[in-house]
Amino acid sequence: MFGLLAGGAALGLLASMWGKIKGVAWRLVGLLVQRVEIPTEPGHEALIAYLIANFKRSRNYDKMYGASWEYQRDGRYGLVPYEVFGNRTLILWNGWFPFLFSNQVENKAASGKGTGDSSGSGMKIHSTLTFVRGTVDVEAILRAACEARNNISWAVEDQQTATKNRFCIHHVPPRGNNDGEWTGSSDGLAWYQQGNYRLLAHTPEQLGKARTNNGKALDHLIFPQRVKDLIKEIELWRMSKDWYLEKGIPWKRGWLLYGPPGTGKTALARAFAEDLNMPIYVYNLAEMSNHDLINTTARL
């Protein structure tokens, strides 16, 4: 009887002190384990692409597959299957040491909680890295991830990639079969060019809208020569970025096309974009607030 009473008292004492015991245990764990938070979406996207490309990952993880409608170089338009990374927890290896990548937005959405951080500051945390202290250099990884993403993005403008057709029309907000999904990114890359997608049946070079003709698109339109010569002015502006920067002038330029419906404004813009190998963004202002317009413009 006395033993039972003593055991109950010990359990009661343990229960009353459990919060303090747990706090001390977490402090001890914190001396060995470090957790780093990534609060920005571009940082999250660059980081997961770099981790997938450069670190070995455990085979035991919750996989996520999907398919999106996309143009192909052969002119067909069909579903492209892929595996997407960054939305589920991954165990990766830095040599002999494992570390954990976790998507906090997905985790907190699944648990029904908000997307702020654990400290209650309200800052949105996109992902975290958890590792044994001294085994992962997060700053070096993030620098390398940003450099890799910049190099890929800059290569889109490089002369060596001039044969890759960037002509594509992006509708804002998205419409059609995209189901509201933004298919581009702030670095100008199409979704299939980003490292957090693993294509299952295609290569990035096989995707993208092919040119509609072998010659110049402007040659198939009837416009006065002074209108067609505008493309030379656009090309001159595009090649003068360094001059603008040296003079401290914003490297921006706009042209206003006006006239009744059916006079060729859209056809002319499409022809310019195709001949100059540049994308088009179409904004439906009737469906957008000022806040939406500012946010989507900032992403380009």
The DSSP line for 233-280 is HHHHHHTTHHHHHHHT-----------STTSSHHHHHHHHHHHHT--E
Q: Which residue has the higher pLDDT, 78 or 194?
A: 78
Distance, CA of 8 to CA of 6 (rounded, Å): 5
For residue 51, is pLDDT > 60? yes
Q: How do beta strands 77-84 and 197-199 pair?
A: antiparallel
* Cβ contact 125:37 at 8 Å: yes
Query: Which of 154-163, 262-271, 275-284 is predicted least confidently?
Result: 154-163
* Cβ contact 188:153 at 8 Å: yes
Distance, CA of 75 to CA of 208 (rounded, Å): 9
Distance, CA of 165 to CA of 217 (rounded, Å): 14
For residue 277, the model assigns a pLDDT of 77
* Cβ contact 129:138 at 8 Å: yes
Facing residues of 102 across strands? 128
Reading phi first (left if > 0) and then psi (alpha if -120 to 50, else beta), residue 247 is in alpha
CB atoms within 10 A of CB 27: 9
Where exactly are the structural domains of the chain? Answer: 32-163+186-208, 211-300
Q: Which residue has the higher pLDDT, 28 or 245?
A: 245
The three-state secondary structure class of 108 is helix
Any idea what DSSP says for residue 218?
Answer: G
Distance, CA of 250 to CA of 240 (rounded, Å): 11
Per residue, the 3-state secondary structure of 29-84, as one string, reads HHHHEEEEEECCHHHHHHHHHHHHHHCEECCCCCCCEEEEEEEECCCCEEEEEEEE
Q: Virtual CA dihedral for 255, 257, 258, 259, nearest 10 degrees?
A: 160
Query: Using one digit for the tens of pLDDT, what is the confidence trace for 109-140?
Result: 555 555 454 445 556 888 899 998 888 899 99
Reading phi first (left if > 0) and then psi (alpha if -120 to 50, else beta), residue 208 is in left
CB atoms within 10 A of CB 67: 12
Average pLDDT in the 130-159 region? 84
pTM attached to this predicted model: 0.58
Biggest distance spanned by C-alpha atoms of the chain: 106
Q: Which residue has the higher pLDDT, 236 or 188?
A: 236
> Which pLDDT band, with edges at 50, 70 and 90, does 159 fall under?
very low
Query: Using one digit for the tens of pLDDT, what is the confidence trace for 268-292?
Result: 888 888 888 777 888 888 888 888 8
Radius of gyration of the chain (CA): 26
